[in-house]
Amino acid sequence: MRILHISDLHIETEPPRMYVTVNDCLEREVSALRRTGADLMIVSGDLTTYGGGDPAPLRLAREWIESIGLPYVVLPGNHDLGANAERGEHFPETEPYEDVPLGGTNFGTVFGAAEPVTAVDLGPIRVVTVAMREGDPDGALTRLEAVLDAGSGPVLLTGHYPLQTVREGGILAGFGWEQFLPGTGPTLRSLIASRPEIAVYACGHVHVSSALQLTPHCLQVTAGGLGPGASSYRLYDVENGSLAFWTCLGQGPMTFWEREVPFPTYGADYSLGSPAERSGVLRLRPARSRQPT
């Protein structure tokens, strides 16, 4: 069983304004992604740069995703619908908050997404996605608990925001979920800590490839920024009670923060992570016994 995890495409309408090469880079990715032969593709948010204020790039993102020809699940990031309940001081041009239920947002309309949580059973593992906004106006946490209660096997949970800082130094030592889910993020993390069936929390947002222990039973895995960089994606192979994860390089830039932010040059592993973060193997917990009703 193979799962493909991509994130942070940042597709724009032509001509691109913020990431001028992103659309061309993504077009070059299609055949390689198709060749993975994945049983499911996860797209963990920031499909666009300006989707919160304009549905047109979201429509382009859907066309690109469907051109790959793989079954997929998708969730929004902060650029796709806004993250916070109060957006006045946070990127008002690129990330306007849409004060409507998820189904009424640009993202919800284009992708037909009315529910903040989805679940797909793939043989020995269940893939669950959760779309979060600060204050949880969509009732995602309650829905997530109900979906988890309905399953019995190991879970790969997917969100947009990392729930643990991914780098000790540089800009990412102070940028992550805190700016977008300051109250709701810790609640989601506590929920994950209470659910030993969640083996992996797969996410994006920070444009780096990282793998860190989130809780004793759950590994947090970020994919890179496939569009603007660091151009990479993840493969998860599930068989014989194990989950192996891999990093694959894309067609775009191999750095992001190193060139976008006026900080000293970081080491070569800042964007792509250490060898231990790029690949590894986890043992999965067996399915729990279901109590008769």
pLDDT of residue 98: 85
170-198 pLDDT tens trace:
888 888 888 889 899 999 999 999 999 99
- Tokens 């895995």 map to which residue? 221
Q: Tell me which CATH code domain 2-283 carries.
A: 3.60.21.10
* Confidence (pTM): 0.93
Long-range pairs for 67-72: beta carbons < 8 A, 24 or more residues apart:
67/30, 68/30, 68/33, 68/34, 68/41, 69/34, 70/4, 70/33, 70/34, 70/36, 70/38, 70/40, 70/41, 71/39, 71/40, 71/41, 71/120, 72/40, 72/41, 72/42, 72/43
Q: Domain spans of the chain?
A: 2-283
Residues of the chain with pLDDT under 70: 84-93, 259-268, 288-293
pLDDT of residue 259: 67
pLDDT of residue 263: 54
Residue 30 burial (CB < 10 Å; 0-12/13-18/19+)?
A: middle
